[in-house]
Every structure is written in structure tokens, then in C-alpha cells.
Structure 1
Amino acid sequence: MKFTMAIPVGDITPGEFQTTEALREMAVALEAAKVDACYLTDHPAPSAEWLHANGHDAVDPFTTFGFLAAMTTRLKFHTNILVMPYRNPFLTAKAAATLQVLSGGRLILGLGAGYQKIEFEALGVDFHKRGAIFDEGLEVLRLAWAGGAVVKEGRNFIARGNEPRPTPDTQPPVWIGGGSDKAVERAAKWGDGWSPFFAAPGMTSLNQESGIHSVEQLSGKISDLQEMRAAQNKAGQFDICIGPQEKLVFGSSDGIQKYIDDIGELASVGVTWAMVEPPHPSRQAYIEHVQWFGEEIVGRLFPSSRSDTAASPGEEW
């Protein structure tokens, strides 16, 4: 099991998170705690009503991860999730390839179809065609990263022998976000991983519908996904990323064993990465929570020193 942890750069508390020094301190803490990756979400132009009700701010993930890559050596960078239909796929391929090359291969490109209609409208993208735009974008990513000229006509673009660069020696893994049946199909066809989420109170009705509601349901969808991949003769490493349904209480010893047991249950059905979201009332509190997680969770699960040569995800279980 590996861990990807939220880094609260989107929080606009003055001076706490959106500064170079804040990035440096949080990145150092994440690496010291032996957290495997940090994640950011994607909202270029969210609804003001949503933002000020129960939403959240979001910095540009590629720009931010560029800063973080220069401050770290091991930490991976996980977009959770980047909304593929928002952008021309060649621009997404360029940004992702650039970060992958300059970070030394540390990008995990989590992608989703998106759900906020008003944001699609602000960006000039047809909300009702987002699924089809997503699918053609996934194809373009692979074509762009393969090297050489690309010939492809999409709904909003025509490539007549264009050659995107750079071409990464190792393509960033693509994780498909969402728990719907369609997300499972996309993950099986185009992905190197699948990143669903458990439905929770306060989510939009659309997210409630596409969310996972139990470990049993998750296990069934993972089995379906594996069957789809086998039918397409796909083999090799494939990651499943989701956090436990019951949230960890940071700083308390009471729930540690329950959390570790929940991680074990997820691993038993095929999960290889767990998502973690520490509270962050301040930068110092966030750093202390990261340190606590490294000592009480990572340290207990992996008492020997973890390194880049450690076992593959899931082997410890």
C-alpha cells in the first residue's frame, strides 16, 4: 500500500499555504514522513455559489507541481483529478509530458470527466459532450506521448501531422477518476489505474450517484475492471486508489488500529494506493499532522525504512 496525501495549496488563508516558503515546508514534511505522493484538484473557473457554500479553491496543478518538483527528490505528484474535457488534449499532453520529464518521472495523471456545468460553460466546452471529449482526449494523450507526427480529427481540433514534444521516456501513469460504470470502462480501456471515491454527505447528487457506497461494491467493480482488462489482453501493473470510508482522526491513538485494519481490508480487494486528507487549520497544524501520520501510520505499517527499492504496491499485504 502506498499513500497519496492532499497538500492544501488551494487554501487561501493569508500567508499560510500559498507562498514559496509554505510549499517548501510542506514538501519537506511529506518527504520526511515517507508519504509517496501529494495530490491537487482542478477548478479553473468554478461556480461562485458553489465556491462560497461548500466548495474549495484550487491552484493550477501543473504550475504548483513544477514548484514542488524543484523542492523534492522522491515525492510523486498526483492530479486528483484533472478535468480532461476542459482543455485541448494537446495542451494537457504537453503540460503533463513537461512535468514528467523535468520531475524525473514523478507525475501521476489522475483524470476525470468533470461535473460542474457552469464551469464547462465558462470554459467554452459543451457539458453534454464531456464524455465523448474525454474519450478522444485519452486517445490523443497516448498518441502525443508516443512520439512522431499525430493525425487525428476531434470535435474541437484537427491534427494533420503535428508533432508534440517532449516525449517522456516513461509515460506518466493515467488514473481514471470516478466510480460510475463508465469510469470503470474508461479505466480498463485507457488507464493505468482507477481512482474512485466513497460517497459522503454534502456531495452533489451527481457525485453521490457515481460514488462508491461499500467495500463490497468496490470489490465487485474491481473484479469487473479486471475482467475487462483481461478481455482486452491487458496485463501488468494497474493501480487502484481510494481512501478508507471512515476518516482517520489525526493526533489520536484511538482510531489507529481501526484505520490500519481498514487499509488492510482495502488491500485485500485490490487497492494499492490510499488517499489521505489531513486537517489543516494552519500550516503548522498540517505539518504536525503529516509528521504524526508518518510516525503512527507509515511507521507502523512499514517499520523498516522505506525507499525507492521497496516492494511493489500491495506486496506488503
Structure 2
Amino acid sequence: MQFWSGTPFMKTSEILPLARMLDEAGYDGMVTADHLIYPRDLSSPYPDHPSGKPPWEPETAWPDCWVQIGAMAAVTSRLRFSNAVYVAPARPLLEVAKQVATAAVLSQGRVSLAVGVGWMREEYEVLGQDFTTRGKRLNEMIPALRALWGGGWVSWSGEYYQVPEMMIEPHPETSVPIHCGGESEAALRRAARLCDGWVGYAYGWAEAVSYANKITKLRHEYGRASEPFDIMLALMEPPSPDLYKRAQDAGITAVMCAPWMGADLPGEGVERYREPIERFAEEIIGKVR
């Protein structure tokens, strides 16, 4: 079982020292979250809230995923980095290929890419990308990225992307895992058919196991059941070694956790996170491994 932490809603200036703490305490990785803007006139409905409105304030900071990952990699030695999730089809294919490859090389292979189609039409429009074809373009972008990361003269010819033969350097020295986020049927099938893993949200026990079982069934359907595959999600259950051992038995390979969540953190600044991070590592992580 892997233990990952996240950075959303934290002060941007606290992210790097937090990464060092997690690295030193033996956590496996950190995920970044992705939003480019918050438009003055937001008409896109937010899918995970009954009101249709995002639960965060417009001034909430969303640091660029790949700048953040590069900076975290520079101050850590073993921590891995990914996304939950990166809205890749809102960006040009070559931009995504270049950013991820650079981060993979600079981190010495400690990067994976977790993609999703997103929900905010306004972000696509401001970046000049088609919102209506985002799912189909992501389906093509995944194999295209693998081809463009191959090194040497590379190219891609598809329905949505045309890349003439060129070199894109640096290229990853080892394969970059690609995971998919999202709960829709299309997203789950995309993960099972095209990806190396699936990233979910936060669930109670029964719902988490249900998603793990559905992904496993789809992988059998696509003839990929024997291939390595990651399932990462957060569990909305009281943490215990037994909980995470049962999750592992259910096919969940990684959990997102925030040991400081709900705690009365004494002091100020990022040091207030140290005690819950170290306690969780000792009482939970150390007893699961």
C-alpha cells in the first residue's frame, strides 16, 4: 500500500517544506491539483456539489502542476509526484509532452501523469481548446504521449493530433505511468483500456470497493487483468492499519491522506504539520508495511 498526500488549499509557500517533511517521514508521494483560472462569470456547473458551484473561493491559489512538481522534486530524494488530476486536453499535446518529460528527467523518474477531462468550459475556451471533444481527444492524447516520449525521431498521426517527425528532448529515460481520473463510465473505461492506473476521489468503504471492483472487471473485459495497475483514492473512514490492509486486499494500491485534517494544529507556519505527519507515519504507515 502506498500513502500519498495532497497540496490543494494549502498556502503555496508551504508546499515545498511540506514535501520535505513527507519525504523524510517515509510517505510515498504527493499529488497536485489543476485549475488555471476562476472566471468572473462562471456558468459551468461544478459536478461534485449540489449547488453546482465550487466550494472554494475565487481567490484560492492553484499553483501550476508542473512548476510545483519540479520544485518539489528538487527538495526531495525519494517522494513521487502525480496529479489528482491534470486537465490535459485543455492544453496542446506538445506542451503536455514537453512538461511531463522534463519533470520526469529532472526528478529521475519520480513522476506519473494522472489526466482527466475536467468540467470547466471556461478554462478550455481561454486556452483555445475544444471543450466538446475533450474526451475523444484525451483518448488519443494518451497513446500519442507515449509515442512522443519514445526518444529519437518521433511523430503522431491521428484524428485530432498531427505531429510531423521531430525530436522532443529531453525524453523520459524510463516509462512515465499514465493514470486516468473521473467516475463516469467513459473515464473508467479509459483507465481500464488505455492507462496504467485510475485516480478516484474520497469515498466511504463500500463505495471505494465498488469502484475497485468495477475497474477490475473492466480490465478483464479489455484483456488487461494481468498487467500492473494502480488504484488510488481517499477513504473517508477512521484511519487504522487494518483499514488500509483491507483496502490493499480489495485491490486498492494507494491512498491519499491528510494526517493533519481535522486536527487542532498548534503553532504557526508549516511546522504545525510535522507532528501529525510523523504520528501517522509511525502509527499507520509503519504498521501497514
- Alignment RMSD (CA, Å): 2.6
Unaligned 5+ residue runs, structure 1? Answer: 12-16, 201-211, 247-254, 303-317
Please tell me whether residue 107 in structure 1 is matched to residue 108 in structure 2.
no
Per the alignment, do residues 5 and 218 of structure 1 end up closer, same or farther by CA in structure 2, a change over 3 Å counting?
same
Residue 197 of structure 1 aligns to a residue in which SS?
strand
Question: 1:26 Cα shift?
Answer: 1.3
Matched position secondary structure for 2:30: strand
- Between the aligned residues of both structures, percent identity stands at 29
Counterpart in 1 of 2:250?
269
Q: 1:301 to 1:216 in 2, by over 3 A?
A: closer
Distance in structure 1 (CA, Å) of the matches to 2:100 and 2:143: 15
**Matching of residue 125 in structure 1 with residue 106 in structure 2:** no
Paired with 2:255 and 2:40, the residues of 1 have a C-alpha distance of 31
Report the alpha carbon displacement of residue 213 of structure 1 after superposing the two structures with TM: 6.9
Task: Report the 3-state secondary structure (helix = DSSP H, G, I; strand = E; otherwise coil) of the residue aligned with 2:124.
Answer: helix
Shift of 1:216: 4.5
**Matched residue SS, 2:112:** strand
Report the TM-score when normalising by structure 1.
0.77
CA 1:237/1:219 → structure 2, altered by over 3 Å: closer, same or farther?
Answer: closer
Q: Which residue of 1 aligns with 2:49?
A: none
1:190 alignment partner AA: L
- Retained in 2: the 8 A contact 1:45–1:122? no
Q: 1:70 to 1:53 in 2, by over 3 A?
A: same
Q: Give the 5 Å matches for 1:1-20.
A: 1-8=1-8, 11=10, 17-19=11-13
> Equivalent residue for 1:151?
156
Q: Supply the distance in 1 between the matched residues of 2:111 and 2:32 (Cα, whole angstroms).
A: 12
Aligned pairs for 1:40-79 (under 5 A) are 40-48=32-40, 54-55=55-56, 56-79=60-83
Structure-1 separation of matches of 2:16 and 2:33: 19
Residue 178, structure 1, aligned to residue 182, structure 2: yes
Aligned to 1:209: none
> Which of 27, 37, 41 is 1:35 aligned to?
27
**1:177: Cα distance to partner?**
0.7
C-alpha displacement of 1:296: 1.9
CA displacement at 1:66 relative to structure 2 = 0.9
Q: Distance in 2 between matches of 1:174 and 1:26?
A: 25
Q: Deviations over 1:210-258 (max 9, x none)?
A: xx9714422431332331342xx57432111112133xxxxxxxx44xx
SS at 1:143 equivalent: helix
Corresponding position: 1:89 with 2:83: no
Q: 1:268, 1:31 → 2: CA distance?
A: 26
Count of aligned residue pairs for this structure pair: 270
d(CA) in 1 for partners of 2:242, 2:192 = 28
Please, which of 215, 218, 226 is the counterpart of residue 219 of structure 2? 226
Work out the CA distance in 1 between the residues paired with 2:62 and 2:215: 30
Offset at residue 279 of structure 1 (A)? 4.1
Given the alignment, which residue of 167, 174, 190 partners 2:171? Answer: 167
How far does residue 151 in structure 1 lie from its aligned partner after superposition? 3.4
CA contact under 8 A between 1:4 and 1:78: conserved in structure 2?
no
Unaligned runs of at least 5 residues, structure 2? 47-52
State the Cα deviation string for residues 26-71 of structure 1 (Å, max 9, x = none).
1221012110001110101234577996124310011111111111
Match of 1:240, SS state, is strand
The residue type paired with residue 258 of structure 2 is E
* Letter of the 2:215 counterpart: I
Shift of residue 272 of structure 1? 0.6
Deviations 1:53-102 (A, max 9, x none): 61243100111111111111101111111111111111111111111111
Q: TM-score, normalised by structure 2?
A: 0.83
Q: 1:235 to 1:90 in 2, by over 3 A?
A: farther
Assess if the C-alpha contact under 8 Å between 1:244 and 1:263 holds in 2: no
* CA–CA separation in structure 2 for the residues paired with 1:164 and 1:275: 33
Give yes or no for contact 1:31–1:75 (8 Å, CA) kept in 2: yes
Quote the residue 2:275 is aligned against. Answer: 288
